[in-house]
């Protein structure tokens, strides 16, 4: 049933079992799906051949004719003739009184081919098959009132038609932007377009109401901003588009805006659907934007948020082994992948052995730090090998400090043997003397610049220490770690490990509580 203005967007449908599109028909049989490369419709619609390859798109269609189902269940009454009998003649029953003809509401729900085969959208499309006829009936009943001063009355008496046809197309931002450019000369995506097919004065029994095109991507963003579900937002947009097809136009005057806003509110409340009307929501958003200017960056622009919900809400990324390359930086490919994940509503939580300031600095280099980025002082994360964990709003939810006696023994060993040592104290790094290896941890690995403490006691008194590392060659670091364990006799509660770092063939030897990044993640999940 997609009408002439849509004909150039459709491919000519081959036999209905082809594997390109889905269709559901409720006119003569229970709902079922079959495949074609165009739109399969019930008798309430027609398949249109392609006239151009402007978009080269295919649509998945679901069709419904309200009132047809009951009609098809009524079998025709065969004529009955009584035979002439000598002893009796059958008495003929009086014909039943004719009832007023019920208006058929024929609705076709189409899904543009570039939308993924997502269960949420399929579910919404199925619900729209029921919701759209309900909204149409209530809207038609509302036209009987005489309180409208600005509505175009080209559609007057809906009851004068045998049936009403309407199509609803769900698409993405790219598709609706092309339609918006072609039909309205506005080169940007929008939330909903309405295209009337009604020709006033044409004496036909079918009211071809028109087409409503809804961008699911824009609807998803608006649903998130307004605090309701995607289904709620699509219903709101459908009601708005339907009222446009019935002659309401909020753009012509303030009075027209008030009338259409009131009618949106009446329909949504009568249908018991959530959310405000589109006009009211847009006015509220404009008012709020005057008080709270939009500080979002280009990642929030149209097309950045997909309509579907991911199968998970959070991704824990092991920064040290996954995100960073050999230069301890995030590559452009990795940065783009992170942007794509966040644009789809997935929250990225970093798990790392680094201090939080180091992580923020690294993400700043690819413009992914800050309040609207992946890492900030207000985001969750697992730092210092799980010894510092931050939850929602960046609140600290777990901390594990080293035993001061262990820290003292490690510091004394560092001074006695002139071994570079760094103590990690939340967002600070402390050391006892300058060394090129200590500096490399800041210049190459972006850790906070180490502060030189005048004595062991000063270092221990400065802050709680979560982690300490020795810097030297591989074999020597292993000796240092073993010596410290022996001196402090804390073998059972410490985890000492070494890992290579690319700074003069150096190895980093860690002294920390026996803990891990993966274990620390469990704390964050309960906050």
Q: Cα separation of 356 and 452, whole Å?
A: 20
Of the CA atoms within 13 Å of residue 522, those in its CB half-sphere come to 4
Domain membership flag for residue 291: no
Instruction: Report pLDDT for 479.
Output: 79
Tokens linked to 387: 């010894």
How far, rounded to the nearest angstrom, does the alpha carbon of residue 47 sit from its chain's CA centroid? 32
Domain membership flag for residue 525: no
User: Do 386 and 426 lie in a common domain?
Assistant: no
The last residue of one of the domains, among 399, 426, 460, is: 399
User: Do 357 and 456 lie in a common domain?
Assistant: no
Q: Which residues make Cβ contacts (< 8 Å) with residue 430, sequence separation at least 6?
A: 422, 423, 450, 451, 453, 459, 462, 463, 465
Domain membership flag for residue 89: no
Instruction: Report pLDDT for 219.
Output: 93
Domain membership flag for residue 198: yes
The SS3 of residue 299 is helix
User: Do 164 and 236 lie in a common domain?
Assistant: yes
Domain membership flag for residue 205: yes
How far, rounded to the nearest angstrom, does the alpha carbon of residue 28 sit from its chain's CA centroid? 36
Q: What is the CATH number of the domain that holds 279?
A: 3.40.390.30
Of the CA atoms within 13 Å of residue 312, those in its CB half-sphere come to 7
Instruction: Report pLDDT for 33.
Output: 30
Q: Cα separation of 240 and 267, whole Å?
A: 10
Q: What is the CATH number of the domain that holds 351?
A: 3.40.50.1000
Instruction: Report pLDDT for 202.
Output: 81
Domain membership flag for residue 97: no
Domain membership flag for residue 211: yes
Q: What is the CATH number of the domain that holds 466?
A: 3.30.1240.10
User: Do 57 and 153 lie in a common domain?
Assistant: yes
User: Do 384 and 418 lie in a common domain?
Assistant: no
Our CA dihedral for 281, 283, 284, 289, rounded to 10 degrees, sits at 120
- Contact of 423 with 429, CB cutoff 8 Å: yes
Instruction: Report pLDDT for 238.
Output: 94
User: Do 328 and 225 lie in a common domain?
Assistant: no
Beta partners for 471? 508
Task: Look at the pTM and tell me if it is higher than 0.75.
Answer: no
How far, rounded to the nearest angstrom, does the alpha carbon of residue 463 sit from its chain's CA centroid? 42
CB-based burial of residue 479 (10 Å sphere; 0-12 exposed, 13-18 middle, 19+ buried)? middle
- Contact of 66 with 140, CB cutoff 8 Å: no
* Number of domains making up the chain: 3
Instruction: Report pLDDT for 380.
Output: 92
User: Do 374 and 412 lie in a common domain?
Assistant: no
Nearest-5° angle of CA 345, CA 350, CA 351? 140
> What separation in angstroms does the CA of 361 have from each of 85, 116, 327, 445, 467?
104, 36, 14, 10, 20
CB-based burial of residue 118 (10 Å sphere; 0-12 exposed, 13-18 middle, 19+ buried)? middle
- Contact of 281 with 236, CB cutoff 8 Å: yes
User: Do 393 and 408 lie in a common domain?
Assistant: no
Domain span holding position 185: 4-70+102-284
Q: What is the pLDDT along the chain (527 residues), one digit of tens a residue?
A: 444 444 444 333 333 333 333 332 333 333 333 323 333 333 333 333 333 333 344 444 555 455 444 444 433 333 333 333 333 344 445 555 445 568 899 999 999 988 887 888 999 999 999 999 999 999 888 887 667 788 888 887 787 889 999 999 999 999 999 999 998 999 999 999 999 988 887 888 888 999 999 999 999 999 988 889 999 999 999 999 999 998 888 778 888 888 888 888 999 999 999 876 676 666 555 545 444 444 444 434 444 344 555 567 788 898 987 899 988 899 999 999 999 888 777 889 999 999 999 999 999 999 999 988 999 999 999 999 889 999 988 999 999 998 898 899 889 999 998 999 999 999 999 999 999 999 999 999 999 999 999 999 999 999 999 998 988 876 777 777 777 777 776 544 444 444 444 344 445 555 555 555 555 555 545 44
381-383 and 388-390 strand pairing: antiparallel
User: Do 395 and 409 lie in a common domain?
Assistant: no
Q: Cα separation of 394 and 413, whole Å?
A: 36
Among residues 215, 163, 183, 138, which one has the least CA distance to residue 43? 163
- Contact of 362 with 329, CB cutoff 8 Å: yes
If residue 212 lies in a helix (H) or strand (E), which one and from where to where? strand 206-215
User: Do 374 and 417 lie in a common domain?
Assistant: no
The last residue of one of the domains, among 399, 425, 442, is: 399
User: Do 490 and 469 lie in a common domain?
Assistant: yes
Domain membership flag for residue 307: no
Instruction: Report pLDDT for 37.
Output: 31
User: Do 253 and 137 lie in a common domain?
Assistant: yes
Instruction: Report pLDDT for 306.
Output: 47
The last residue of one of the domains, among 371, 399, 427, is: 399
């Amino acid at each position: 049933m997609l009408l002439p203005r849509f004909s150039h967007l459709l491919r000519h449908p081959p036999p209905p079992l082809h594997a390109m599109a889905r269709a559901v028909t409720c006119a003569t049989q229970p709902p079922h799906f079959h495949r074609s490369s165009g739109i399969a419709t019930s008798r309430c619609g027609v398949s249109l051949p392609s006239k151009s390859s402007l978009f080269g798109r295919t649509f998945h269609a679901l069709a419904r004719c309200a009132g047809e189902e009951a009609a098809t269940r009524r079998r025709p009454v065969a004529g009955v003739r009584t035979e002439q009998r000598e002893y009796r003649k059958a008495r003929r029953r009086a014909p039943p009184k004719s009832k007023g003809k019920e208006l058929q509401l024929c609705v076709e729900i189409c899904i543009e081919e570039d939308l993924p085969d997502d269960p949420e959208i399929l579910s919404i499309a199925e619900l729209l098959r029921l919701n759209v006829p309900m909204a149409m009936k209530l809207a038609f009943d509302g036209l009987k009132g005489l309180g409208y001063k600005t509505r175009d009355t080209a559609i007057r008496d809906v009851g004068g038609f045998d049936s009403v046809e309407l199509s609803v197309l769900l698409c993405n931002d790219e598709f609706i932007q092309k339609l918006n450019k072609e039909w309205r000369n506005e080169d940007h995506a929008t939330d909903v377009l309405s295209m009337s097919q009604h020709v006033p004065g044409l004496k036909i029994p079918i009211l071809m109401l028109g087409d409503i095109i809804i961008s699911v991507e824009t609807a998803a963003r608006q649903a998130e901003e307004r605090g309701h579900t995607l289904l709620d937002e699509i219903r709101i947009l459908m009601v708005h588009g339907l009222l446009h097809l019935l002659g309401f136009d909020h753009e012509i005057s303030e009075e027209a805006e008030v009338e259409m806003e009131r009618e949106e509110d009446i329909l949504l409340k009568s249908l018991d659907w959530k959310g405000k009307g589109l006009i009211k929501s847009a006015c509220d958003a404009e008012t709020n934007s005057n008080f709270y200017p939009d500080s979002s960056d280009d990642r929030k622009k149209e097309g950045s948020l997909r309509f579907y919900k991911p199968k998970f809400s959070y991704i824990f990324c092991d920064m040290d082994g996954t995100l960073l390359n050999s230069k301890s930086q995030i590559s452009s490919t990795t940065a783009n992948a992170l942007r794509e994940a966040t644009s789809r509503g997935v929250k990225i939580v970093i798990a790392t052995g680094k201090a939080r300031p180091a992580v923020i600095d690294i993400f700043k280099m690819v413009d992914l730090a800050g309040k609207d980025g992946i890492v900030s002082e207000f985001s969750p994360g697992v730092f210092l090998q799980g010894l510092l964990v931050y939850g929602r709003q960046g609140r600290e939810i777990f901390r594990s400090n080293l035993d001061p006696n262990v820290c003292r023994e490690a510091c004394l060993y560092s001074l006695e043997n002139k071994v570079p040592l760094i103590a990690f104290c939340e967002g600070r790094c402390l050391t006892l003397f300058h060394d090129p290896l200590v500096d490399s941890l800041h210049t190459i690995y972006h850790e906070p610049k180490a502060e030189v403490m005048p004595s062991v006691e000063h270092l221990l008194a400065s802050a709680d220490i979560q982690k300490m590392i020795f810097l030297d060659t591989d074999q020597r670091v292993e000796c240092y770690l073993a010596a410290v364990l022996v001196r402090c006799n804390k073998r059972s509660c410490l985890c000492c490990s070494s890992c290579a770092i690319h700074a003069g063939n150096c190895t980093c030897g860690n002294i920390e509580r026996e803990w891990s990044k993966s274990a620390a993640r469990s704390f964050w999940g309960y906050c």
